[in-house]
């Protein structure tokens, strides 16, 4: 083969700095494990002032989902994982979409045949069952075909695949940052297909070619690919290329026995947003699923993306599976919600408040501060404020509160006393309502709760509300607040 083209491809490869890549297949949603891989890959690059590359691996045409590439772009951008090179950003080693690189895989497959690391196979034979756990190695009759005969059959148009020629004896050892040195007997490896009959590469082959040609120095992937790593190494060695550093991450689990799976209802990143989680909380929590900071940060839980990039260390990656705990994520999310400025919280809460409150007199901007400290997720907003629109049916038992020393009879007395006081107010403001109710309690020589609890119950019909009696009066407005107090009097038999 003419080696000039291959030499030109080698000359394009950047050297001298860390280069990582996130290489998703556009097959639908971004699940939590994928997001973690993207995050760790980005952190490695940013921690070492390297280059982060986005590559779209779309060679498995049968599994492609329309719009999935846009989901990838949107998710990475929302999470702050900016890329330096990629399909839309360009770069020195493009194109960055595998199907647009189709022509070069065949050339490298044929070069590997010349180097003795692969061979043409004309058998009508199924793909390897190795990864299914039902693998029994069998001899491929095409493996020992004389090269001249194989090339004649290719030239004659006979369909073929190109398979990797795995050594039949000895072993292959590879090093992983998390798992250390792993050795596999070559007899346990299959002569995997590298180039399919349609001319497209298999996932494993395209990965190796693209990672080399893009100068990738660190490869992050799930531990399910540990079994493929020896074959990757043998490919690199057959080409005479440097092997990148492998970082295999243990799976994210639903529980001690089951991996997370969309089929079992486990949430994707998009699902988590729909469930009211903040991106920053999700990213922070996902960063700790299988990685832990060291030293002075070992007890910390909350990190910005920039802080993570400063301290991220491969030594912190665990070999043990990580369990995704939705309650723990809620804990993170609640902390992030509480840390928002009032303006920032209102900005993200506004759609939820508008969906829940339609009463025109209620100022949702005044409602927002009342719920900010009471939410684990944004979906917690609506159930807390739905009473502003419609007073729910409620039991008189709500008026009975041991701590406030209220019961049905004295609640009725309180509401009867409150009604004329509020009706006489010239100004319907927080301060005016507050002073009126506090003044009434003082005049009647009652503790504040004896007045405030019955009023809050009458206004909300709930045992727990964001804000107390004064805030609810102000927000509901004079007409609605007085109407609800009158209804409470009637319901208590007054």
The Cα 67–Cα 75 span in angstroms is 12
Task: Give the single-character DSSP code of 361.
Answer: T
E-strand stretches of 32-158:
51-54, 118-121
Give the closest residue to 359 by CA, choosing from 476, 482, 486, 458: 476
**CA distances from residue 226 to 163, 173, 204, 255, 314 in whole angstroms, order as listed:** 20, 12, 12, 22, 17
CA end-to-end span of the chain: 100
Tokens read off for 343: 């303006």
The Cα 386–Cα 475 span in angstroms is 13
Q: Is the separation of the CB atoms in 308 and 286 below 8 Å?
A: no
The Cα 121–Cα 100 span in angstroms is 25
Query: What is residue 254's three-state secondary structure?
Result: coil
Among 17, 152, 187, 262, the active-site one is 262
Q: Is the separation of the CB atoms in 472 and 463 below 8 Å?
A: no
Tokens read off for 450: 């004896």
Q: Is the separation of the CB atoms in 118 and 167 below 8 Å?
A: no
The Cα 56–Cα 226 span in angstroms is 21
Which helix (DSSP H) or strand (DSSP E) does residue 323 occupy? strand 322-323
DSSP code per residue over 71-92: HHHHHHHHTT---SBBTTTB-T
Q: Is 231 a catalytic residue?
A: no
Active-site amino acid positions: 262
């Amino acid at each position: 083969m003419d080696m000039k083209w291959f030499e030109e491809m080698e000359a394009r490869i950047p050297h001298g700095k860390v280069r990582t890549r996130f290489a998703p297949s556009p097959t639908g949603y971004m699940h939590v494990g994928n997001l973690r891989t993207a995050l760790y890959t980005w952190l490695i690059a940013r921690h070492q002032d390297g280059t982060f590359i986005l590559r779209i691996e779309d060679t498995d045409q049968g599994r492609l989902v329309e719009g999935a590439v846009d989901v990838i772009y949107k998710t990475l951008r929302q999470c702050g994982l900016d890329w330096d090179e990629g399909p839309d950003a360009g770069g020195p080693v493009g194109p960055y979409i595998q199907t647009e690189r189709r022509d070069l895989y065949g050339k490298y497959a044929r070069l590997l045949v010349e180097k003795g690391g692969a061979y043409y196979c004309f058998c009508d034979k199924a793909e390897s069952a190795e990864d299914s756990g039902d693998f029994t190695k069998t001899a491929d009759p095409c493996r020992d075909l004389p090269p001249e005969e194989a090339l004649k059959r290719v030239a004659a148009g006979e369909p073929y695949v190109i398979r990797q020629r795995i050594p039949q004896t000895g072993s292959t050892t590879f090093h992983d940052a998390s798992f250390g040195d792993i050795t596999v007997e070559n007899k346990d490896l299959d002569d995997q297909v590298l180039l399919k009959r349609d001319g497209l590469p298999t996932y494993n082959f395209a990965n190796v070619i693209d990672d080399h040609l893009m100068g990738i120095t660190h490869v992050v992937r799930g531990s399910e690919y540990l079994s493929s790593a020896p074959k990757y190494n043998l490919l690199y060695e057959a080409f005479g290329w440097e092997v990148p550093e492998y970082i295999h991450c243990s799976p994210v689990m639903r529980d001690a026995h089951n991996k997370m799976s969309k089929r079992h209802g486990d949430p994707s990143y998009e699902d988590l947003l729909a469930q009211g989680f903040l991106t920053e909380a999700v990213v922070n929590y996902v960063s700790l699923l299988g990685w832990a900071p060291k030293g002075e940060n070992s007890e910390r839980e909350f990190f910005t993306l920039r802080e993570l990039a400063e301290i991220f260390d491969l030594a912190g990656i665990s070999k043990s599976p990580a369990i995704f705990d939705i309650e723990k994520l809620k804990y993170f999310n609640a902390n992030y919600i509480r840390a928002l400025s009032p303006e920032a919280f209102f900005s993200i809460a506004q759609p939820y408040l508008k969906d829940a409150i339609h009463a025109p007199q209620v100022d949702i901007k005044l409602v927002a501060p009342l719920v900010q400290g009471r939410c684990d997720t944004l979906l917690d907003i609506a159930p807390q404020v739905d009473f502003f629109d419609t007073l729910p049916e409620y039991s008189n038992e709500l008026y009975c509160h041991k701590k406030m020393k209220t019961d049905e009879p004295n609640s009725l007395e309180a509401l009867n006393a409150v009604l004329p006081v509020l009706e006489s107010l010239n100004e319907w403001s927080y301060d005016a309502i507050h002073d009126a109710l506090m003044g009434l309690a003082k005049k009647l020589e009652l503790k504040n709760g004896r007045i405030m609890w019955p009023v809050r119950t009458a206004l909300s019909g709930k045992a727990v509300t964001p804000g107390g009696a004064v805030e609810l009066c102000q927000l509901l407005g004079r007409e609605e607040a007085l109407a609800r107090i009158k209804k409470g009097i009637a319901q208590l038999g007054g």
